[in-house]
Amino acid sequence: MAGEKWGMVIDVDKCIGCQACVVACQAENNIPINTEDLYNQRRAVQWIRIERYWEGEFPDVKARFIPVLCQHCSDAPCEPVCPVFATYHNPEGLNVQVYNRCIGTRFCANNCPYHVRFFNFWEPSWPESLKNQLNPDVTVRSRGIMEKCTFCIQRIRRSTRDAKAEGRGVEDGARELNPACVNACPTDTLFFGDLNDPDSKVARMSAEETGEHGRGYHMLEELGTEPNVLYLKKVDKNAKEASHA
Amino acid sequence: MQEHVQLDQKQINKELLNGVLQMPKWWPGATAVVLVIFIVGLCAFGYMLNKGVGVTGLNRPVYWGFFMVNFVFWIGISHAGIMISAILRLTQAEWRRPVTRAAEVLTVFSLMAALMAAPLVHVGRPWRADLWVFPYDFARGVWINIRSPFIWDPSAVMTYLTASTLFVLVALLPDLAIIRDRSKGFTRVAYSVMCLGWRGTPRQWKLQAVAGILLSALVLPVFVSVHSIVSWDFAVQIGPEAWHSTIFAPYFIIGAIHSGVSAVATVMVLMVWLWGWKNYITPDHLDAIGRLLIIVATTWFFFFFLEWVFALYSLEAPELAMRDLQVFQWPWSGLFVLFLLTAFFIPVPMWLFRNLRRSLWAMFISTILVNVGMWLERFLIIIPGTMRRGHMIFDWGSYHPSLIEILMVAMTFAWVILGMLLFSKVFPLIPLFDIKEAMVGRDEIKVGRKTVPASIRE
Amino acid sequence: MHDGHSANGHDAASVSRGLLDRHRAAPIARRIAALTAGVLFLLGIAGFVIKLLDKGTSDPSAWGYYAALVSFLLTAAGGAVMVAIATRLAKAHWRRPISRASEMFAVVTLYTFALLIPLLFALPSLSDHRRSLWFFGELNVPGYMPHIMTTLSFFFLALAGLALLWMSALPDLASLRDSSWGLTGLFNRLSNTWQGTSRQWFVQYHRLGILGALYFMMLVTTHFLFSMDFAMALVPGWIDALFPATHAHNSLHAGAALMLVTMFVLRRFGGYGDYIGLDQFWGLGKLMFALSLLWFWFWFSSFIIFWYGAKPNEQAVLELLMVGPYLPIFMAAFILNFLVPLFTMIWNPLRKSVWGPTIIACGVLLGTFFDRVRLYAASWSVAAADDKHTLREVPAAIMPDVADVMMWVGGLAGAVLVYILAARVIPIISVWEQKELLLYRMHKPFHRLAEVLVLGKKD
């Protein structure tokens, strides 16, 4: 089974900015509630966020959405700078965070060009009524350490373990394998799978879309971080017409 | 021309030990004040330990704030000691003698302040900060990550602290013996132990001189590496804008010397004012340090110029956005102007005038200004950098330091002043033996109608 | 005592006589050297003509080695003058016998300026839309801005150097004028007004200080412009803010090395053995050693940022200049400029000798030569491209052809020739500084020791 390389494809063309992925991630990964206070302090934790940009002048204004999460870079800038190996690259191509090792230098967060690493400024807390809905498979992170998107590693672990026990491989695109954000997306914007398996959906999409006429691009490609998240750019019909005219 | 005050040994002993053997009138009050500030800072630290880093003004993406600024600032100040002691010793500059110890002690205490500012209060879990330097997971083969500049950093700083402390101790031995001979009872026992049986035999003197020269030569690479590595904490990163520049190491080093030597000049003036050592720290000494500062400041400005030219040369949008923030957006623009004025455009023209170089007041004000400017320099590099004026404009940040942060920064300042004050009560701040050596080695030569100071060369 | 101080005469008149007599003598060895250099220089001109006819000026990659030659001469000879300026600023007495030999390298800079002119024709204008210091396209500047600014800066550097040489030689020229030995007309004109009054001496000291500072600023400026416009700007994606400072530092380093070699030649073959002694080699050797250590620091400061950041544009630059086609040359430069000095100069017996620092200095000069070749041959071989951000394709190493070798030999020989000719006119050891030393030096009895040397330092 050696040699998985988990990756994601995000079709920006389909994203409607509904934030379902954000909420799903919040629930799956025991992320404390982002109150208004936390937003105002700029300390909200969102492992996946929808960045919204306005394009054009009134009245021809368009909202553009782009979901941004940890890119699980193959050449991740956050990894070499951690003095205590709290962040490292695992053999499955995931950029993982070891909470117990982290001492909170915040060096990794500083060196992340995508701003997808989050620091626990406060001890996490939930209202009494929500205590029982915490996910038992995910650690609650204490204050003073970094956290970030894991591609829902607990789901990857459980599904591969279950599949192994039943003597089969994990099905590509199975709900139990997919991260919470992928499952929650109503428009099929997000795709998750093993990039090393040539038959998987994500591998096929990246092969198709990174060609000459493909829509694929990596975020901040000029930095050479080699992300494992591939974006497919928006199909802009107006732009095409403009170029014809 | 240099005035020549020839002092006899008795007078030197009497005057230079006035802070140790007697209690200066202002000393208890001043010490109490800084002690209070220090304790208040400690309380703020305790509050942060209890509540979490949330009590600071840090946020996403400004993850490094005031503490980092002050870490760099204090490391900068710490470059004073070795610059004065080692480099000027190796180049045989006579004017170094009365200020070597004050500069070295300033180095030791400011390094401690730096360690307080960065690993201790900066990290999210300070109670585990020791694991950073002393790896804990032997059993599972997890070692510290030597690729991280944050591992190079403590290694360099600790080495520097060790070497500087040795520097101070080796130079202290003969003076401690003098105090031992002039004290009674418990004090005498304490100084006897501290001076390690110094009797002043030729062999002891020889070993002491050899140790001094060896330490000078060996500490120089450490001196250069410390601030280079501190600069690489920033420069190796590709995340924040405007940090990823090759100029950083030399720029930081020369900036450190600029602020460090200025701080020494401030301390020199204070030594004259507070202890009345005007026979030892004369306008000639201030003149010499002023001339050194002109060269250092100009070189620093050249590197500053290079940093800017290449930021603009790249013409990359994030880089330009960050520069725009630094220069054109309030309050950064105001700070930027203040930084330029205080770090260069006020003090350097002042030092060009011989009268001002030789005036205590002018040197005091100009060198304080330099350190205000150099603090702002670090502030203006670090904070706008972490504000991430990058391609992802959705995530542009902002930052205001909180009261807790300011109190903790005040704590580091209080620590350095407190350390200097306590040191001055226990040990002489001007090396007695060095002054005496200068008196012996000093001579004059008549050239025509003029007399020039001369020194004996082996 | 160090032999540099004690061997020569003890009164001013005998110092004057000794040095001026030696200046007037024209040893046969010098004539042979001048003649050989002249012939080799002609060979260099032939090489230049071959290159010009063969390749023309439209292809920059043909002129990389020539650019490296100009850069090397600017680096070594330009920096050699700084030996006099820096040590005079620090009031070091050991500089006295070598300050003139150091300032004399200003004539080589003038010669280098002449060599620069053909290079201007080979440097492409900014209209190829490369990134430049001059914000071509953003601001309204002419496309030949690099050519204009480098020429101006180079010219004023040569001018400042010559002014410094002339002013520093003024008292000596006056004594040559007064001793009426041939060329009187020339000396008359050069030292017209010098009478040696107190006022003139006062002005002299200040003038030397100011000209020295001016020269240093021009040197830094010239290195800044030359390294930017003749190397860095040619490579897309090469943004190294430290490079101009490294270039200038290399100049001080190679300058110290060049002076060590010059001193050795003057001592061994020039008949100045009783003036240039261990003191000078020791002082300058230490300086070169310190600069060798700084060489590593400057190089590493640039390298670690590019290597650690691992951005594609930076990796391409590393590939081009260091680890790619020019790796052997880079390694040679690294070993000769840093490793060899480090592991030899820490050894006292070697540092405190005449031959030791000289041999290491030869290595440093050779290392600087390799360094310049790797930088300039590489950057001139990059073809113009639309992409300003990254060097997409690293070109293969350019090998020197016969014309390149001829130009290099001839170019260096020309520098030697110019230097020898200048030394024929101006005394190569500063007579007045040598005489001044006698005023500041005294032997005194001291305690039980027999005698100590007391050296005065002017405020």
Q: What is the DSSP string of C45-93?
A: HHHHHHHHHHH-SS-GGGGHHHHHHHHHHHHHHHHHHHHHHHHHHTT-G
Which among B228, B312, B313 is the top mutation candidate for probing chain C, defined by the most C β-carbons within 10 Å of its own β-carbon?
B313
- Residue B125: pLDDT over 80: yes
- Residue A244: pLDDT over 70: no
B143 and A85 in contact by Cβ < 8 A?
A: yes
pLDDT of B135 reads 61
Residue of higher predicted confidence among B427 and C183: B427
The count of domains in chain A is 1
CB neighbours of residue C29 within 10 Å: 11
How would you classify residue B301: left for phi > 0, otherwise alpha for psi between -120 and 50, otherwise beta? alpha
pLDDT of A243 reads 44
C312 and A80 in contact by Cβ < 8 A?
A: no
Which chain C residues are closer than 8 Å to B244 by Cβ?
Answer: 305, 309, 311
Residue of C nearest to B285 (CA): C459
C242 and B246 in contact by Cβ < 8 A?
A: yes
A80 and C390 in contact by Cβ < 8 A?
A: no
Which chain A residues are closer than 8 Å to B394 by Cβ?
Answer: 51-53
pLDDT in tens, B41-80: 999 999 999 998 999 999 988 999 889 999 999 999 998 8
**C192 CB-contact burial (10 Å; exposed 0-12 / middle 13-18 / buried 19+):** exposed
pLDDT in tens, B179-229: 898 888 888 898 989 888 888 899 999 999 899 888 888 888 888 999 999
B124 and A144 in contact by Cβ < 8 A?
A: yes
Q: Which residues of A touch C (CB under 8 A)?
A: 75, 80, 222-224
- Residue B440: pLDDT over 80: no
- Residue A229: pLDDT over 90: yes
Amino acid in the structure at residue C385: A
Asked whether the bond before B384 is cis by omega within 30 degrees of 0, the reply is no
How far apart CA B233 and CA B367 sit, in angstroms, is: 27
The arithmetic mean of pLDDT across residues B89-97, rounded, is 80
**Kind and range of the H or E run holding B308:** helix B283-314
Global confidence as pTM: 0.93
How far apart CA B244 and CA A113 sit, in angstroms, is: 12
**CATH number of the domain at B9-455, out of 3.40.50.150, 1.20.1630.10, 3.60.15.10, 2.40.10.220?**
1.20.1630.10
Which chain A residues are closer than 8 Å to C310 by Cβ?
Answer: 75, 224
pLDDT in tens, A134-150: 999 999 999 999 999 99
CB neighbours of residue C15 within 10 Å: 21
- Residue A83: pLDDT over 60: yes
pLDDT of A45 reads 92
**β-strand pairing of A229-232 with A87-89:** unpaired
- Residue B389: pLDDT over 50: yes
The arithmetic mean of pLDDT across residues B118-147, rounded, is 76
DSSP for A168-229 reads: -PPPTT-TTTS-HHHHH-TT--EEEEETTSTTSHHHHHHHHHTSTT--EE-TTGGG----SE
Task: Give the domain range for residue C273.
Answer: 3-455
Beta carbons of A226 and A6 less than 8 angstroms apart: no
Smallest Cβ distance to C241: which of B246, B444, B453? B246
**β-strand pairing of A87-89 with A95-97:** antiparallel
pLDDT of B136 reads 60
Which chain C residues are closer than 8 Å to B313 by Cβ?
Answer: 131-133, 239
pLDDT of B141 reads 67
Dihedrals phi, psi of B352, to nearest 5 degrees: -70, -20
Which chain A residues are closer than 8 Å to B398 by Cβ?
Answer: 42
A115 to chain B nearest CA, in Å?
7
In a domain, A172, yes or no: yes
pLDDT tens by residue, chain C, 459 residues = 343 444 445 677 888 888 888 887 777 888 899 999 999 999 999 999 999 998 888 888 899 999 999 999 999 999 999 999 999 888 888 888 999 999 999 999 999 999 999 999 999 888 877 888 888 877 788 888 899 999 999 999 999 999 999 999 988 888 888 776 666 777 777 877 888 888 888 888 899 999 999 999 999 999 999 999 999 999 988 999 999 999 999 999 999 999 999 999 999 888 888 888 898 999 999 999 999 999 999 999 999 999 998 899 999 999 999 998 999 999 999 999 999 999 999 888 898 899 999 999 999 999 999 999 999 999 999 887 777 788 888 888 889 999 999 999 999 999 999 999 999 888 898 888 888 888 887 777 766 666 777 777 765
In a domain, A85, yes or no: yes
Map tokens 């005031």 to a residue. B66
Which among A78, A223, A225, A226 is the top mutation candidate for probing chain C, defined by the most C β-carbons within 10 Å of its own β-carbon?
A223
Task: With cut-offs at 50, 70 and 90, classify the pLDDT of residue A239.
Answer: low
How would you classify residue A55: left for phi > 0, otherwise alpha for psi between -120 and 50, otherwise beta? beta
How far apart CA B360 and CA B266 sit, in angstroms, is: 9
B111 to chain A nearest CA, in Å?
19
Determine the 3-state secondary structure of B41 from DSSP: helix
The arithmetic mean of pLDDT across residues A82-93, rounded, is 89
How far apart CA A54 and CA A52 sit, in angstroms, is: 7
In a domain, A1, yes or no: no
pLDDT of C448 reads 65
pLDDT of C1 reads 35
The count of domains in chain C is 1
Task: Give the domain range for residue A61.
Answer: 6-244
CA dihedral C240, C244, C249, C255 (to 10 degrees): 140
In a domain, A22, yes or no: yes
Residue of higher predicted confidence among A3 and B155: B155
